[in-house]
Each structure stands twice: as C-alpha cells, then as structure tokens.
Structure 1
Amino acid sequence: MGREFVGIFDEWVHTYDDSVSGKDEEYKDVFMKYNEILQAVADAAIGSVIEFGVGTGNLTVKLLHRGLEVVGIEPNQAMREVVAEKLKDLIVIDGDFLEFETEIRPQSFVSSYAFHHLTDAEKAQAFQLYAEQLPAGGKVVFADTLFASEAAKKEIIAFEQARGHANLVEDLNREYYTTVPVMEKLMTDAGFTVELSKMNNYVYLIDATKK
C-alpha cells in the first residue's frame, strides 16, 4: 500500500520544497513546471476533496485558494507535522491511498507525485475503491510519473544513469512507476473516462471522471 516508502520522507521532509523549486539539479526535470502541474490538479478538482500524500502542503494551498473543502491524507508523521504548522486549520489524517477514514463525502480524490508508491495491482484496487465512493461525475485527478512504454522507461533510466543521477535512478528502479496504457486500462476498468496530459518529460496529469 505504499507504506514501505514512508520512511524515505523522513529524509525528504526538510529538502522537498527546495527540490520541487528546481534547486536540486538531479530532480530538476522531474519537477519541471511544478507549480503549473499542481495548479492543473487543483483546477480540475471539484467539490469536497480528499488529497492523498499531502506532503508539505503545496497542492493543498492551491486547492484551498479555490475555496474547496479539503481533507488531507498523509502517512508520514514528519510531513504531517510540517503541513500542520503551515496550514493550521487543515484536517490531516494518518492514512494512505487504500486505507483512510474520514467523514467527508468526496467529490474528488487528488494527489501529486505519490501514486507510484502503489503496485499496479494496488492501483487497480484503489480505483475500484474510489469508484465506489464517488458520485457520478466525481473526479480522480492525479499528477504522477508515467512512461509511454516499458521500453521508454528503460531508456530514461539509462539516460539518467549516464548523467550520474544515482539517487533518481534508484528511485526509478525501486518504486512502482507504470505506463500510460496500463494506467488508462486500470481506470477505464473501474468505470472512469480518462484524459491524460503530458506535463513534462516525467509527469502526466491524470484527469478521470466517474461515469
């Protein structure tokens, strides 16, 4: 359920905002147009929102600026402490993409840079769960790294290895990054219509609507 990666963010919590702002050269391409990506997620969300992987609250701020009701789900305690200090009125719950308890009746599920912590089987389970909870017309809006194919994934890993980006290569090999065709199938099988928009060389905006 992605919980095996929670400890990584004990290390990232104090450097994450620097990385997403482009100060970490190794991850610069991953976070290219970061604010634009988050704004695209926020703009596509509707109604009451459950946000997975709140992190340091960057997407949350944009959702709140739109006047949306937001409940945050964050499995890492250090991240919960950071966002609680930044957004004192935000409800942030210890949970993950598959296990969360909240009284909110969601019209949207959103996330940025986190869904790859689930295996493809867990992703499928998650979409079925969201389909059960959302009304018709409800949204799943995720920004996450996807690859056009397995071959494309191998090519970019080799490219980053040649650039000496050992930490990024480790991430790409360790976590469960999937492909565009797989993601589309998982969501359509769960009863969603799906639009994918490539935002940078790594990240796609996944905008899905329950039928």
Structure 2
Amino acid sequence: MGREFVTIFDEWVHTYDDSVSGNDAEYRDVFFKYEEILQAVADAAISPVIEFGVGTGNLTEKLLAKGYEVAGIEPNAAMREVTNEKLKDATIIDGDFLEFDLSLQPKSLVCSYAFHHLTDAEKAEAFKLYAELLPAGGRVVFADTLFLSKEAQQEVIDFEKSRGHDNLVEDLNREYYTTLPVMKELIEQAGFTAEFTQLNNYVWLINATKN
C-alpha cells in the first residue's frame, strides 16, 4: 500500500519544496514544469476532491485556490504537520491510496508524484476501489512518472546512472514505476476511460473518467 516508503519522507520533508523548485540538479528533470503539472491536475479535478499523498501541500493549495472542497490523505506524520502549518484551513488525515476513512463523497480523486508507491497489483486494486467510490463521470486525475516500455525505463536508469545521479537511480530501481500500457489496461479494466498527456520527460497526466 506504499506504506513501506513512509519513513523516506521523514528525510524529504525538509528538502522537498527546494527540490521541486528546481534547486536540486539531480531531480531537476523529474520536477521540470512542476507548478504547471500541479495546475494541470487542479484544472482537471472536479469538486469535492480527495487528494492522496498530500506531501507538503503544494497541490492542495492550488485546489483550495480554485474554491474546491478538498480532503487530503497523507501517511507521513511529518508531511501532515508541514501542510497543516502551511494551510490552516486544510483537512489532512492519516491514510493511503487503499485505506482511508472520510465522510466526504468525492467527484474526483487526485494525486501528484506518489502513485508509483503502489505495485501494479495494488494500483489495479486502487482503481477498483475508486470505481466504487466515484459517481459516473467522476475522475481520477494523477500526475506520475510512467514509461512507454520496460526497455525505455531501463534506458532512463542507465542514462541517469551515467550522469552520476545515484539517488535518483536508487529511486527508479526501488519504487514501483510502471508503463503506460500497463496503467491504461488496469484503469480500463476497472471501468474508466483514460487519457494520457506527457508533461515532462518523466511525468504524465493520467485523466481517467468513470464510465
């Protein structure tokens, strides 16, 4: 359920905003056009919104700026503390992509840079859960790293290794990144129609509408 990665963010919580701002050369390509990526997610969302993997609240802030009713889910306590301090009116609770307890009836579910913490089997389980939770026409709008094939993924890993980006290479090997064809299949099997838009060399906007 991605909980195995929770403690990693005890370290990231103090540097995350600096990294997404482009100040960390190793992750600059991953977070290229970061603000535009978050805005694309916010613009595709429908209120009320549940946001998974809130982190430091950057996407939450854009959702609230649009006047949406938002409930956030974040499994890392340090991240929740940062977001609650930054956004006094935000509702952020402990939970993850598969286990959460909210009374809000959402019309969209959103996330940025976190769905890869689930295995492909868990991703499929999540979309089946979301199909039960959302009304017809409801949306799942995720921005996350996808690769066109396993071969393309390995090429990226080899390239980043050649650049000496050891931390990024460790991330790419450790976490559960998947391919666009696999993602498309598991989304459609859950009863959604999905559109994919590439936003930088790593990140795609996944816009899935419940049939």
TM-score where L is the length of structure 1 = 1.00
> Match of 1:206, as an amino acid?
I
> Match of 2:187, as an amino acid?
M
Residue aligning to 1:189? 189
Residue aligning to 1:140? 140
After TM superposition, give the deviation of residue 22 of structure 1 in Å.
0.2
After TM superposition, give the deviation of residue 141 of structure 1 in Å.
0.1
1:169-200, CA deviations, whole angstroms, 9 ceiling, x for partnerless residues? Answer: 00000000000000000100000000000000
CA distance in 1, matches of 2:23, 2:87: 24
SS at match of 1:144: strand
SS at match of 1:22: helix
CA distance in 1, matches of 2:156, 2:209: 30
SS at match of 1:200: coil
Gapped runs of 5+ residues in structure 2? none
After TM superposition, give the deviation of residue 89 of structure 1 in Å.
1.3
After TM superposition, give the deviation of residue 70 of structure 1 in Å.
0.3
1:100-159, CA deviations, whole angstroms, 9 ceiling, x for partnerless residues? Answer: 000000100000000000000000000000000000000000000000000000000000
SS at match of 1:207: strand
Residue aligning to 1:60? 60
After TM superposition, give the deviation of residue 47 of structure 1 in Å.
1.6
Residue aligning to 2:169? 169
Residue aligning to 2:36? 36
Matches within 5 A, 1:38-187: 38-187=38-187
CA distance in 1, matches of 2:163, 2:89: 43
CA distance in 2, matches of 1:41, 1:73: 16
CA distance in 2, matches of 1:89, 1:68: 12
User: How many residues align structurally?
Assistant: 211
> Match of 1:100, as an amino acid?
F
SS at match of 2:22: coil
Residue aligning to 1:203? 203
> Match of 1:144, as an amino acid?
D
CA distance in 1, matches of 2:120, 2:106: 23
SS at match of 1:194: strand
Residue aligning to 1:11? 11
TM-score where L is the length of structure 2 = 1.00
CA distance in 2, matches of 1:91, 1:47: 14
Gapped runs of 5+ residues in structure 1? none
**Percent identical:** 74
The CA RMSD over aligned residues, in Å, is 0.3
After TM superposition, give the deviation of residue 82 of structure 1 in Å.
0.1
CA distance in 2, matches of 1:100, 1:2: 13
1:59-110, CA deviations, whole angstroms, 9 ceiling, x for partnerless residues? Answer: 0011011110000000000000000000111111100000000000010000
